[in-house]
C-alpha cells in the first residue's frame, strides 16, 4: 500500500473536482408597463412616421390618388363592356347564315328608319327656326294686300301721282254716256282711285243716273264744273283722254271744255261704305 502525497490532500486548489458555484437568488423580471393607445398627432407622427403617412393617405387622398382611382374605374367599366360584347359575339357565332342575313337586314331597316327620323327632326327644326320670319313676312304681305283691296274698294283714303280733270258744260248738262266712257278710258289706262267733286268715290258698284241740273252719282246730284281726281301714272292717263275721238273730243263736240293737270300728289279722301253681299258667297278653289 502506497501512501498519497500529503501535500495534495492538504491544498484544496489541487482538487480536480470543480468547486461548487455560490448560491444566487432568482432575479425577478419587472412587470410590463401598459402600452398607451396609438394616437394620430404630432407626437405619434414623430414616433411612427410610416404609419402616420399610411393613415393620412387613406383619410386624405391626394389629387393623384383620385385620378388613379377614376382611371381604374373606367378600365373596369371598359372590361365589363368588352365582356358583354364578347358574349354577344358568341351568340351571333352560333347562328346560321340565313339567320345572320335576317339579323343584318333587320339592322339595316332600323338604321334607315333612324336616318328618316333624323331627317324629319332636322326639317322640323329648320321650319321652326324660320317660322318667325315666315310669319312676319306673311303678315306684312297680308297687310299690303288688305291696303290694296281697301283702295280699290274705296274703303281707304289714298294719295299719289295722277291727274285732276275739270269738265265744264253749259247748264251743267253732261251726258251720262260721255261720263261713263271717260271713266272706262281712265280705268283702262290704269286708274287706281277715282273721285268726283271731292265727295263721291267711284268704284265698281257706283251708280250713275241723269238728274235735273246735273248727274246723280250714288244718290248725290253733282253739278258743273265736274272735277275728277284720278290716281295713276300721269303719263298714261293723259293720252288716254286726249286720243282722237276720245273723251276730250266728245266733250268739245258737246260744247264743253276739259282741263287736265298732272300732279305728283293727288288726294282721294271720300270713302265708300262696305256692303255685304246678299247672294254671293266665297268658294274654295278645287
Q: Is residue 282 part of a domain?
A: no
The whole domain housing 94 covers: 68-156
- Domain end point (choices 103, 121, 156): 156
* Residues 185, 237 within the same domain: yes
> Does residue 280 lie in a domain region?
no
Query: Are residues 173 and 256 located together in one domain of the fold?
Result: yes
**Using CB atoms within 10 A of its CB, is residue 203 exposed (0-12), middle (13-18) or buried (19+)?**
middle
Which of 140, 156, 172 delimits the end of a domain?
156
Residue 28 included in any domain: no
pLDDT in tens, 131-178: 777 788 888 888 888 898 889 889 999 999 999 999 999 877 888 899
Are residues 75 and 145 both part of a single domain?
yes
Give how many domains the chain has, as a whole number. Answer: 2
Same domain, 123 and 187: no
Contacts of 130 (CB under 8 A, 6+ apart): none
Tell me what percent of the residues of the chain surpass a pLDDT of 90: 34
Cβ-based neighbours of 127, under 8 Å, separated by 6 or more? none
Query: Could you give the maximum distance between any two Cα atoms of the chain, in Å?
Result: 213
Write down which residue in 101, 128, 156 finishes a domain. 156
Q: Within a domain: residue 279?
A: no
The answer to whether the pTM exceeds 0.85 is no
**Alpha carbon of 128 to those of 134, 139, 140, 221: distances in Å?**
10, 17, 19, 58
Taking the mean position of all CA atoms in its chain, how far away is CA 182? 55
**Beta carbons of 162 and 265 less than 8 angstroms apart:** no
Q: Is-contact 247 241, C-beta < 8 A?
A: yes
Tell me, yes or no, whether 139 and 167 share the same domain: no
Identify whether residues 149 and 175 lie together within a single domain: no
Instruction: Indicate whether 261 and 171 sit together in one domain.
Output: yes
pLDDT score recorded for residue 73: 73
The answer to whether position 239 is within a domain reads yes
- Least confident stretch, 22-31, 251-260, 272-281: 22-31
* Phi and psi at residue 215, to the nearest 5°: -130, 135
Residue 26 in any domain: the answer is: no
Same domain, 146 and 204: no
67 or 240: which carries more pLDDT confidence?
Answer: 240
The CATH number given to whatever domain includes residue 264 is 3.30.70.1880
In a domain, 258, yes or no: yes
* 110, 201: one domain: no
Mean pLDDT along residues 252-274: 93
For residues 249 and 237, state if they share a domain.
yes
Amino acid at each position: 500500500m502506497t501512501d498519497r502525497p500529503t501535500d495534495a490532500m492538504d491544498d484544496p486548489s489541487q482538487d480536480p473536482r470543480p468547486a461548487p458555484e455560490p448560491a444566487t437568488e432568482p432575479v425577478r423580471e419587472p412587470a410590463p408597463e401598459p402600452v398607451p393607445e396609438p394616437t394620430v398627432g404630432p407626437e405619434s407622427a414623430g414616433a411612427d412616421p410610416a404609419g402616420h403617412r399610411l393613415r393620412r393617405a387613406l383619410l386624405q387622398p391626394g389629387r393623384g390618388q383620385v385620378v388613379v382611382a377614376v382611371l381604374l374605374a373606367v378600365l373596369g367599366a371598359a372590361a365589363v363592356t368588352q365582356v358583354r360584347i364578347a358574349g354577344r359575339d358568341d351568340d351571333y357565332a352560333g347562328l346560321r347564315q340565313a339567320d345572320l342575313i335576317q339579323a343584318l337586314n333587320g339592322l339595316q331597316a332600323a338604321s334607315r328608319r333612324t336616318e328618316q327620323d333624323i331627317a324629319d327632326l332636322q326639317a322640323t327644326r329648320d321650319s321652326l327656326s324660320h317660322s318667325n320670319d315666315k310669319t312676319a313676312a306673311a303678315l306684312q304681305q297680308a297687310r299690303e294686300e288688305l291696303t290694296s283691296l281697301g283702295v280699290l274698294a274705296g274703303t281707304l283714303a289714298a294719295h299719289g301721282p295722277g291727274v285732276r280733270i275739270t269738265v265744264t258744260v253749259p247748264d251743267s248738262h253732261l251726258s251720262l254716256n260721255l261720263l261713263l266712257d271717260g271713266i272706262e278710258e281712265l280705268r283702262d289706262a290704269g286708274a287706281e282711285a277715282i273721285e268726283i267733286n271731292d265727295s263721291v268715290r267711284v268704284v265698281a258698284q257706283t251708280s250713275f243716273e241723269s238728274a235735273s241740273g246735273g248727274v246723280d252719282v250714288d244718290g248725290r246730284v253733282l253739278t258743273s264744273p265736274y272735277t275728277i281726281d284720278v290716281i295713276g301714272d300721269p303719263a298714261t292717263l293723259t293720252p288716254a283722254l286726249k286720243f282722237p275721238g276720245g273723251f276730250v273730243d266728245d266733250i268739245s263736240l258737246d260744247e264743253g271744255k276739259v282741263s287736265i293737270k298732272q300732279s305728283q300728289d293727288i288726294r282721294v279722301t271720300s270713302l265708300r261704305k262696305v256692303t255685304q253681299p246678299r247672294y254671293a258667297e266665297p268658294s274654295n278653289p278645287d
